[in-house]
Amino acid sequence: MSLTHKAPPVVPQDSEPHPPATPPKHKLWFYRFDTKRTPYVFISPFFILFAIFGLFPIVFNGIVALRTWRLDDPDRNGWAGFDNFERLLHDEDFWNALGNTFGIFILSTVPQLLIALMVANLLNRKLRGTTWWRVGVLLPYVTPIAASTLVFAVFFSRDNGMANWLLSLVGFTDLGDPLDWRAYKWSSWIAIATMVNWKWIGYNALLYLSAMQAIPKDVYEAAAVDGAGPWRQLWRITVPMIRPVVIFTVVLSTIGGLQLFNEPMLFEANPAAATGGSNGQWQTIAQLIYKVGWKDLNLGYAAAMSWALFLIILIVAALNAFITNRLGGGRR
Partner 1 sequence: MTTVTAPPPGKRRRREIGRAPQDTRGNWSTYLALTAVLALSAFPLYWMFVIATSTDEAVSQTPPSVVPGNQLLTNLREVFTMQDVYFTASLINSFIVASVVTVSTLFFCSLAGFAFAKLRFKGRDPLMFVVILTLTVPNQLGVVALYILMGKLGWNGTLLAVIAPFLVSAFGVFYMRQFILNSVPDELVESARMDGALTLRIYWSIVVPAIRPALAVLGLLTFVATWNEFQWPLITLNGTEFPTSMVALSDLASGNYVIYRRVLAGAFMATIPLLVLLVLGGRQIVRGIMEGAVKS
Single out the residue of 167, 190, 255, 321 in contact with partner 1 (rule: CB under 8 A): 255
Stated as kind and residue range, the H or E segment containing 315 is helix 299-327
Looking at the Cβ atoms of 162 and 323, the one nearer to partner 1 is 162
Q: What is the DSSP string of 60-114?
A: HHHHHHTEE-BSS-TTS-EE-TTHHHHHHHT-HHHHHHHHHHHHHHHHHHHHHHH
Q: What is the DSSP string of 9-64?
A: --S--SSPP-PPP---HHHHHHHHHHHHHHHHHHHHHHHHHHIIIIIHHHHHHHHH
Looking at the Cβ atoms of 103 and 300, the one nearer to partner 1 is 300
Looking at the Cβ atoms of 31 and 322, the one nearer to partner 1 is 31
Compute the least distance from the CB of residue 308 to partner 1, in Å: 11
Stretch 69-88: interaction string toward partner 1, x if CB under 8 A: x-------------------
Stretch 95-134: interaction string toward partner 1, x if CB under 8 A: ------------------------x-xxxxxxxx--x-xx
Stretch 280-299: interaction string toward partner 1, x if CB under 8 A: ------x--xx--xx----x
Stretch of 1-9, 83-91, 99-107, 324-332 lying at the interface with partner 1 (CB under 8 A)? 1-9
Residue 168 CA to residue 174 CA, distance in Å, equals 6
Please state the φ and ψ torsions of residue 174, each to the nearest 5 degrees.
-110, 125
Residue 206 CA to residue 212 CA, distance in Å, equals 10
Looking at the Cβ atoms of 142 and 331, the one nearer to partner 1 is 142
CA-only gyration radius of the chain, Å: 27
Q: Contacts with partner 1 in 12-51 (CB under 8 A)?
A: 12-13, 15, 17-20, 23, 31, 34-36, 38-40, 42-43, 45-47, 49-50
Q: Provide the 3-class DSSP secondary structure of residue 177.
A: strand
Looking at the Cβ atoms of 17 and 171, the one nearer to partner 1 is 17
Contacts of 181 by beta carbon, 8 Å cutoff, 6+ apart: 156, 157, 158, 161, 163, 187, 188, 190, 191
Looking at the Cβ atoms of 36 and 331, the one nearer to partner 1 is 36
Q: Could you tell me the CA-to-CA distances from 276 to 96, 170, 279, 322 in Å, in that order?
A: 11, 29, 7, 32
Single out the residue of 29, 95, 136, 322 in contact with partner 1 (rule: CB under 8 A): 136
Interaction of residue 152 with partner 1, rule CB under 8 A: yes
Interaction of residue 278 with partner 1, rule CB under 8 A: no
Q: Contacts with partner 1 in 173-232 (CB under 8 A)?
A: 175, 198, 202-203, 206-207, 209-215, 217, 219-221, 223-224, 227-232
Looking at the Cβ atoms of 232 and 326, the one nearer to partner 1 is 232
Compute the least distance from the CB of residue 306 to partner 1, in Å: 5
| Site size toward partner 1, by CB under 8 A | 131
Interaction of residue 322 with partner 1, rule CB under 8 A: no
Residue 233 CA to residue 239 CA, distance in Å, equals 9
Q: Could you tell me the CA-to-CA distances from 191 to 120, 155, 182, 188 in Å, in that order?
A: 24, 9, 9, 5
Looking at the Cβ atoms of 92 and 132, the one nearer to partner 1 is 132
Which DSSP symbol is given to 225?
A: G
Single out the residue of 57, 81, 329, 330 in contact with partner 1 (rule: CB under 8 A): 57
Residue 200 CA to residue 198 CA, distance in Å, equals 6
